[in-house]
Amino acid sequence: MADHSTRAAYTVDSLLAVTVRVFNERGYDGTSMEDLSRAAGISKSSIYHHVRGKEELLRLAVGRALDALFAILDEPAAAAGRPVDRLEHVVRRTAEVLLAELPYVTLLLRVRGNTATELWALERRRDFDHRVAELVQAAVAAGELRADVEPRLATRLLFGTVNSLVEWYRPGQRGAEGLPDAVARFAFEGLRAR
Amino acid sequence: MADHSTRAAYTVDSLLAVTVRVFNERGYDGTSMEDLSRAAGISKSSIYHHVRGKEELLRLAVGRALDALFAILDEPAAAAGRPVDRLEHVVRRTAEVLLAELPYVTLLLRVRGNTATELWALERRRDFDHRVAELVQAAVAAGELRADVEPRLATRLLFGTVNSLVEWYRPGQRGAEGLPDAVARFAFEGLRAR
């Protein structure tokens, strides 16, 4: 009975939160259903009650990060206005989503491509990058971005800067609310005082 | 005799080049001396002829990256002048060293801290970051950097931007010679056209 009540207390969301933590610690390849069962404190059959297996958990976890990122592109400030302002909005919001969904985005950024789900995640990441690269191109065409940084490189540096937050940001860190703005200022205005 | 001549052809440098490639592919923890022997095409005893073991190979490999990075700080343009110009020189040169010593710097950036050598490498990386953070502080104090990006964050964003090159740069890629300048422009002037 105790086992049953524990199982009932688990939802896909809470199982996912544990799963993502374990995936990030051990790597997806290095994690077994046994590891997940132990970390969640529920039996493997209880996990199979919710999902078909490890790969479905991965799909749900990276899907959560991807959905949050793609939703940014449909926001009004990303969809209309000067390309450079739309781009800056996307960069700021990408940083916000990264901080809000840190373990999920961290997992997404570490996906390797060994399974169909990983290949799907990489493909959707490329789609997102491509959408942002189109915004960069539009901003360059409008003369809103400096001409001496190649558009493809600009896109990579933007993502490189935002994504580097996962390397050092820890949840609850002081000053987190100002980070997305600071990242956007860094990327668009640069560090040098004027 | 064939084995002897193969062994004789190996130097610590060429062994190191193979080692770093295997470490970056499999991870340091996931690499055995057997893996290194197979990749280098020489016997384990031939490897032990050069080094005491896997951890010494790691020390030599990350040491090469660290030496190249610390040497930047002693260059005249890093040691004298306006702090912001010294800082920009260090950022540009760090990108250059990263591209020139890509596999070695990649390995350094992936060090985890499970062995004494890894802890030593992390400690030296922190020292380097600290030296750069001091330059950032000096540039802020001189009013040369924008005041609305906190110095500690500025340091992290600078390294995040430069280090992100290891995620996508592939040796021999077209336009590599312009990358360090482009990275420095991005970080100090920002992407927005003026």
Beta bridge partners of B145: A192
Residues B65 and B41 in one domain: no
- The answer to whether B4 contacts chain A (CB < 8 Å) is no
pLDDT for the residue A174? 82
CB contact under 8 A, B149 and A179: no
pLDDT for the residue A4? 47
- Give Cβ neighbours of residue A118 (< 8 Å, ≥ 6 apart): A28, A58, A111, A112
Residues in chain A, pLDDT under 50: 1-7
Question: B7 or A63: whose pLDDT is higher?
Answer: A63
pLDDT for the residue A11? 87
- The answer to whether A190 contacts chain B (CB < 8 Å) is yes
CB contact under 8 A, B182 and A158: no
Has residue B4 got a pLDDT over 70?
Answer: no
> What phi and psi values does residue A114 have, to the nearest 5 degrees?
-90, -15
Give CA–CA dist B90/B163, Å, rounded: 13
What is the 8-class DSSP label of residue B114?
A: S
Give CA–CA dist A118/B185, Å, rounded: 35
Measured CA distances, A40 to A12, A23, A60, A81, A104 (Å)? 11, 13, 17, 46, 17
What total number of domains does chain B contain? Answer: 2
Residues B9 and B43 in one domain: yes
Find the CB nearest B150 among A150, A175, A188: A175
- For residue B63, the domain's CATH number is 1.10.357.10
Residues B19 and B66 in one domain: no
Residues A92 and A26 in one domain: no
Neighboring chain A residues of B145 at a CB cutoff of 8 Å: 191-193
What is the 8-class DSSP label of residue A192?
A: B
Q: Tell me which of B51, B68, B91 is where a domain ends.
A: B51
Q: Is B43 within the bounds of a domain?
A: yes
Residues B129 and B166 in one domain: yes
Q: Is A194 within the bounds of a domain?
A: no
Residues B60 and B46 in one domain: no
Residues B32 and B108 in one domain: no
Find the CB nearest A149 among B144, B156, B186: B186
Give CA–CA dist B108/B59, Å, rounded: 10
CB contact under 8 A, B168 and A156: yes
Residues B119 and B180 in one domain: yes
Residues A105 and A72 in one domain: yes
Indicate the angle between helix axes B116-141 and B83-100, nearest 10 degrees. 150
Q: Is B117 within the bounds of a domain?
A: yes
Kindly report, residue by residue over A108-158, the tens digit of the pLDDT: 999 988 899 999 999 999 999 999 999 999 999 999 999 888 999 999 999
Q: Is B194 within the bounds of a domain?
A: no
**Cβ–Cβ under 8 Å, residues A86 and A77:** yes
Residues A100 and A47 in one domain: no
pLDDT for the residue B11? 87
The pair of structure tokens assigned to B187 is 């970080």
Residues B47 and B71 in one domain: no
Give CA–CA dist B164/A169, Å, rounded: 16
Q: Is A30 within the bounds of a domain?
A: yes
CA atoms within 13 A on the CB side of B140: 15
Kindly report, residue by residue over B146-170, the tens digit of the pLDDT: 988 899 999 999 999 999 999 999 9
Spell A143-161 as b/e; 16+ CB within 10 A means b. Answer: ebbbeebbbebbbbbbbbb
- The answer to whether A143 contacts chain B (CB < 8 Å) is yes
Q: How many residues does chain A have?
A: 194
Residues A41 and A64 in one domain: no
- For residue A42, the domain's CATH number is 1.10.10.60
Give CA–CA dist B26/B20, Å, rounded: 10
C-alpha gyration radius of chain A: 19
Query: Quick one: residue A169, left, alpha or beta (phi over 0 = left, psi -120 to 50 = alpha)?
Result: beta
Domain that holds residue B163: 56-189
Give CA–CA dist A18/A50, Å, rounded: 14
CA A73 to chain centre: 14
Of B33, B71, B56, nearest to B118 by C-alpha is B56
